[in-house]
């Protein structure tokens, strides 16, 4: 890890060999910063591998001070000869997260309802319809909310560490799976060929289902809902066009698998 690494919501700065500070952009609400700090505190007492946290500052330049992880992003390590092994570990870790319960994470349904208010007039009715049709209150687990290769740090001994927990909620695991599939398939531009992205999606979902008893019912509709919600985020124009195409795709599953 270099002395400073900038992401879409924060910049991580090394302050010692053992610690870093994650400085958040001004657009990030203090509530989300506090939530991430408290979530990481809670996760220290679970089997989910996360950085230890030491302090949070909300005034002036808000930051969380946490353990420095000496590792690389999973995205930088994936090569053809290691892809299967890494996807197996990635999917297994994701289902372990979904088996956790949290007293601190907000309700997924409530968070999504607050988001859809900001959708465009052509997308909001569809999102509301899907949300009502799909949501089952009894099926709840811990959802990371942004589980992808850049939010996994891999140490020298290939231990996976999960970072960036400010979008964590309690809700239906299939929502988190659909979000991850959407990111694997569409995020990050056109550098990765379509056939590789489809392969990654197929391998991820196969391995997730192999290690999980969670039923991924109505996955196509969940993918459509996640595509709609993704339009609220800061994405490149090409990806935004892709998302709109997915929303109206007659056979959305064929785009992923």
pLDDT at 77 over 50: yes
In this prediction, residue 96 carries a pLDDT of 97
> 17, 44, 67: which is the final residue of a domain?
67
Residue 9 DSSP label: S
Average pLDDT rounded to a whole number, residues 120-139: 92
In this prediction, residue 122 carries a pLDDT of 96
In this prediction, residue 107 carries a pLDDT of 96
Are 52 and 95 within one domain?
Answer: no
Are 225 and 116 within one domain?
Answer: yes
* 173-186 and 194-211 helices, crossing angle to 10°: 160
Q: Which of 72-81, 118-127, 170-179 has the lowest mean pLDDT?
A: 72-81
Helix, strand, coil percentages (3-state) for the chain, rounded to 5, are 45, 15, 40
pLDDT at 1 over 50: no
pLDDT-derived band of residue 5, with 50, 70 and 90 as boundaries? Answer: confident
Task: Give the whole-angstrom CA distance, residue 50 versus residue 151.
Answer: 11
β-sheet bridge partners, residue 169 = 143
Are 91 and 176 within one domain?
Answer: yes
In this prediction, residue 34 carries a pLDDT of 96
In this prediction, residue 174 carries a pLDDT of 97
Residue 160 DSSP label: E
Measured in residues, the chain has a length of 257
Let me know the angle formed at the C-alpha of 98 by 44 and 210, rounded to the nearest 5 degrees: 125
In this prediction, residue 117 carries a pLDDT of 96
CATH number at residue 41: 3.30.200.20
> 67, 91, 121: which is the final residue of a domain?
67
pLDDT at 136 over 90: no
Are 169 and 237 within one domain?
Answer: yes
Answer whether 81's CB lies under 8 Å from 30's CB. no
Are 52 and 164 within one domain?
Answer: no
CATH number at residue 153: 3.90.1200.10
pLDDT at 7 over 80: no
pLDDT-derived band of residue 192, with 50, 70 and 90 as boundaries? Answer: confident
Total tally of structural domains belonging to the chain: 2
Task: Give the whole-angstrom CA distance, residue 228 versus residue 204.
Answer: 22
In this prediction, residue 58 carries a pLDDT of 96
Supply the mean pLDDT for the chain: 94
What residues make up the domain containing 38? 4-67
Are 136 and 23 within one domain?
Answer: no
β-sheet bridge partners, residue 13 = 4, 21
Q: How many CA atoms lie within 13 A of 177 on its CB side?
A: 29
> 67, 98, 118: which is the final residue of a domain?
67
Q: Determine what percent of the chain is predicted with pLDDT higher than 70.
A: 99
Distances 193 to 80, 151, 196, 199 between C-alpha atoms, Å: 13, 21, 5, 10
Are 53 and 173 within one domain?
Answer: no
Q: Which of 62-66, 173-177, 234-238 has the lowest mean pLDDT?
A: 234-238
In this prediction, residue 190 carries a pLDDT of 67
């Amino acid at each position: 890890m270099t002395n400073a690494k900038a992401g879409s919501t924060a910049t991580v700065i090394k302050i010692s060999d053992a610690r870093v500070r994650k400085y958040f952009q001004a657009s990030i609400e203090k509530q989300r910063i506090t939530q991430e700090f408290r979530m990481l505190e809670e996760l220290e007492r679970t089997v989910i591998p996360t950085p230890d946290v030491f302090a949070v500052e909300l005034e002036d330049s808000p930051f969380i001070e946490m353990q420095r992880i000496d590792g690389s992003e999973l995205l930088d390590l994936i090569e053809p000869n290691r892809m299967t092994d890494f996807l197996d570990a990635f999917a297994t870790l994701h289902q372990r997260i979904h088996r956790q319960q949290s007293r601190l994470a907000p309700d997924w349904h409530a968070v999504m309802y607050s988001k859809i208010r900001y959708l465009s007039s052509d997308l909001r009715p569809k999102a509301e319809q899907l949300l009502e049709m799909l949501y089952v209150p009894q099926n709840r687990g811990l959802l990371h909310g942004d589980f992808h290769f850049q939010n996994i740090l891999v140490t020298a001994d290939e231990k996976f560490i999960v970072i960036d927990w400010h979008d964590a909620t309690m809700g239906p695991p299939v929502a988190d799976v659909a979000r991850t599939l959407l990111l694997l398939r569409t995020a990050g531009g056109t550098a990765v060929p379509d056939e590789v992205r489809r392969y990654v999606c197929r391998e991820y979902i196969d391995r997730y289902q192999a290690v999980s008893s969670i039923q991924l019912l109505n996955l196509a509709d969940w993918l459509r809902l996640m595509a709609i919600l993704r339009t609220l985020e800061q994405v490149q124009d090409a990806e935004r066009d892709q998302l709109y195409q997915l929303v109206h795709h007659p056979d959305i599953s064929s785009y992923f698998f």
